[in-house]
Amino acid sequence: MTNFSDFSFLARAIADFCILIWSIIHIYSIDKFEALRWKVIKRKEVKSIMTILYLISIVLILTYDVISSKIKYSEGFIFDPTKQRVIDKPQEQWSPENKQLRRMAHLILMIFYAVENSAIFLLQNFWNYLVNDIVRAKFITTWQFRINYAFIAIALIIFPCIHFLFSIDDQKMDSFNVQELKAYQQKQAIEEVIPQLAAMSCNLFVLVYGLMAHLKFSSLIKHNNRNHIADRLKYYRYMNGLLILIIGLGASSMIIFNVDALTEKKYLNNNKFTIDLFAGIINISMVACWIVWLLIFYPRLLPNDGGYLKLSSPSAPLKSQGSKNVKHIQIKIDSTTIIMDTNQENYVGEGISGNPRGSIVSEVLLPPPLATNNKQIVSYARAAKGTRMRNLTNIPLHKRLMENPTLNTEELFQTFHGPDFPGCGIVLEKENLLNFYEKGKGTIYIRGRPKLERETETIDKYENF
């Protein structure tokens, strides 16, 4: 990594800092740091551990990049007479203070690799926690669950030990001795390359886990046809696929660059263009990995009518988006929709089914942009034509709203005086109904009307005396 240019470390340090600030804001906006509360951490929940490892990883790599940037900019460049060009000052010519900083930065990098690989392995346990929460199914077996936790403990111990195992003492090195200088450069390459190859090999091994998770997500989606469940599973499958692609790109680039550093010619490490090219690929992969990683266990959320937050995906329209969908459907119905039922406008006010008078099934042929969309779009279209909504907390959309889409809740309340209950009853506290319609949730007290019937005696058989 020290072969990278000074600007590559500075650019990644700035990106790390921006990602850290965005992550803190995003996590706070989702659950107000609920996963970081001590009572949650004591329960050893997977999401809590993932959040802690995520934040620690960003802080570690940010510290490493800041130290590396300081060293690179303070040491500067020298002119190489053999190559007739300006190059970065070699490590053997650094000041003793910067050599000490380099060893400290390398130890921080090893701790970062330990935490990063631990979090990636723990992601498989998070999938199990997530799938159990969504569909009440197991994603991994118990022994896989325990192996992942065991790997975390091993990684947190092994990677820092690798630093001390391959560490070299460059304070006593004589830079004017050619043989000693070549031996030092070879040891220096091993000191940097071997730990990074070990870390990237772990990343590639995790890709196998990722592919297995992708297949399991596909199987769960196939066997769950409920829209809200399928949408969530598709979202996590998509994010898992992105993570596989990003980790694969970054790990393979790092392996190629480090293997070249062990060769005698070092074609990639001695070329300024290839050094900056690989540095750019690795830095972009790392930043993209942070974003995807956070959006996996803190997905994008949007408020619904009740003030709560739910997972948002392109194919799962929320209640608050109903009016926009109705407006879009209105335009399509006016231009391209064919109404199959001639009595579509005549709706009866009795029963729960809401079928049009003289017809059992209400058929509407939607245009292609809508026909291929979610089934909920069809329910919006039928609601816009006057069919009752079965959900009692939804305001039944009416032709009046179609004619005047700008109606507010209070104006619409003049037509709909109460929820569309299948039975009869007297609603108490009618002044709260407007607030009930406005928020889409609430409590309704219904009083029945008693009817007393006197017992009667009937004679159904006469006998002759």
Torsion of CA 42, 44, 45, 47, to 10 degrees: 100
* pTM attached to this predicted model: 0.61
Rounded to 10 degrees, what is the CA torsion of 105, 110, 113, 118?
Answer: -130
The Cα 398–Cα 420 span in angstroms is: 13
- Gap between the Cα atoms of 260 and 263, Å rounded: 5
310-348 exposure pattern, b = at least 16 Cβ within 10 A, e = fewer: bebbeebbeeeebbebbebbbebbeeebeeebeebeebe
Task: Find out whether 327 and 404 touch, Cβ atoms under 8 Å.
Answer: no
Q: Please state the domain extents for the chain.
A: 6-299, 319-417
pLDDT digits (tens, 9 = 90+) for 200-256: 888 888 888 888 888 888 888 888 777 777 888 888 889 999 999 999 999 999 999
Query: Which pair of structure tokens corresponds to residue 321?
Result: 């988006």
Tokens for 273, please give them: 């263009």
Q: What is the pLDDT of residue 58?
A: 94
Q: What would the pLDDT profile of 168-197 be if each residue is shown by its tens digit?
A: 666 555 555 666 666 766 777 777 888 888
pLDDT digits (tens, 9 = 90+) for 1-21: 556 777 888 999 999 999 999
CB atoms closer than 10 angstroms to residue 107: 16
304, 319 Cβ separation under 8 angstroms: yes
What confidence score (pLDDT) does residue 229 get? 78
- What integer pLDDT is reported at residue 23 of this predicted model? 94
Query: Residue 427 class from Cβ within 10 Å (0-12 exposed, 13-18 middle, 19+ buried)?
Result: middle
SS3 annotation, 233-280: HHHHHHHHHHHHHHHHHHHHHHHHHHHHHHCCCCCCCCCHHHHHHHHH
Beta bridge pairs of residue 78: 87
What kind of architecture, by CATH, is found in domain 6-299? Up-down Bundle (1.20)
Average pLDDT, the chain: 72
Alpha carbon distance 12, 278 (integer Å): 13
What is the residue whose two structure tokens read 């926009």? 324
Residues 301/310, Cβ–Cβ less than 8 Å:
yes
Q: Can you tell me whether residue 412 is helix, strand or coil? A: helix
Residues 6+ apart with CB under 8 A from 58: 16, 19, 20, 23, 290
Using CA atoms, how far apart are residues 295 and 301, in angstroms rounded to an integer? 10
DSSP letter (8 states) at residue 95: -
CA dist list (Å): 312 to 99, 297, 383, 425, 431: 49, 13, 22, 37, 33
> Percent of the chain scored above 70 by pLDDT?
60
| Regions of the chain short of the pLDDT cut 50 | 302-310, 312-396, 461-465
